[in-house]
Structure 1
Amino acid sequence: MVKHLCPFENCSSTFSRPSRLLIHIQRHQGIKGFQCTQCDRGYHRRQHLKRHVAEAHQNQLRLEQLLTCNHCERQFKTAWGLRRHQIKIKRQKANIRLHCCEICNRKFLNSVDLGRHSLKHESFKCVHPSCPLLKHQFISWKFYNQHMIDYHSEPFECEHCGEKFIIKSKIRSHVKEHMPKFNCTQPGCHSTFDFAKNLVKHIQVGHGERTYKCNIIGCDWTFKYKICFERHIKAHQQNKKIFPMANRIHKKEPKFLMATKLAKLALKI
């Protein structure tokens, strides 16, 4: 815990909070930050000023009988002090760990954490005798739990042929074999697709005609999509320049393609 030291000489007082250190320094300086508006009394704390106003100016007498705590039978003069004391006791009880491990005596807040911890003493090994990973030791509970889901849960059955799979990812790839294939109808193109929307997009991008042409004199740009055409017109309005379509900027090739080209040139040399 950080301790705040008093800066005055011959004073070794330490405080856990800066606010308490500030009150202590004000006492050294004779400063009272909270003044009563009805008399000349002053106080270092706000709650002391409130108590003074209630007793001296509002005729609210202090409790003659002390307030007793139900947990430890400690007595307090004010209800505020009793309430603050009970809050501390509740916080201490909330952090009590009642569930203890019988092997290493480690304590936990609930039984779920204790059950997960107890698996560590078993080295996370599968208990099914027919499991191919029977002798395998899993590193953590996460991998052990995923293994139980993949290999020892109910099998997934294909609706088309009735074949069963243990792992869910394998049945997903198997179902694609029963789905119809969509072949490209353009001459010289042998592309196939699993979904019709992918085929339509392929025809638009790969074999579609550029139906949108720029109507500005001297510009020969053409586009397949309306959104690209509208973006091109906005560029004309902002820049007011014309660039030939043949001089358009191409995207840079990936690094691995550049590396293969350089390797071929090195072999030729």
Structure 2
Amino acid sequence: MGERIQSKKTFICSFCDCSASFSKSWKLEAHICKHTGLKPFPCVDCDKNFCTRYQLTRHQLNHSGDKPHKCQADGCVEAFATHSSMKNHMDKIHNNEGKPYKCDHQGCGKDFSKKHQLKAHMYEHTNLLPFHCSVTGCTKEFISRGRLDHHKKVHEGYPCEEDGCAFQGKTWSAYQTHKKEHRAKLPCDTCQKQFTNDRFLLLHKRHVHLGVKKELACPRKCGKSFRRQFHLESHVLSEHKGMRAFSCASPGCGKRFAMKVRPEVS
């Protein structure tokens, strides 16, 4: 078989300490919402807001009345604004015939499209979980195959994919932490401080060693300016829009902030 071609991820999150990258711009837009807690795409016809322009465009079909997705069942004239709505209609209304696995428990009569769904359903009648861990010494049981497969990772671990590395994390978070150790380190040729991103290295050289201070003026013309985009965005949200979605977790503090994370200092 041919080697699998990986999609090039050209849309990179600009928040410090975040290495997320995406192959599509709308996926990056949705990711940014996790940092800011904001939904920057408002609908002009109602009070709803969305994380991405794609979500907004799909929502606006509900206002326009345009329903381009026709039900594919013979004789059905229903139409829907989105493909997912049409698919849900097909599954609920027309696809009941495609459920060959029927519960034979007296008085039940439910049917399912897949065998593992029927096995999970039988727990409601027997209280016996159908999926058992096969690892010697482990007696755990689960209601679905998906939960069993997730549990198996506790025994199998998460092996490092780098050549020659024998690391095997017991948890996904431990594996992700270890992966950072393999990222290429880019040293500053002046002070030898290391960076994992060439953009951060360039900014470090400009600000620390060349003394170049990039000034970002507030677009609201209040006279303030900032060195970092993060600080400018935080200023506009908190001072001009009054939006402080995140509160300090320390008991008795009560301070609120516009942004969820703060950048590291060069």
- TM-score computed with the length of structure 1 as normaliser: 0.34
Structure with greater proportional helix content? 1
TM-score, structure 2 normalization: 0.35
Q: Which has the larger radius of gyration?
A: 1
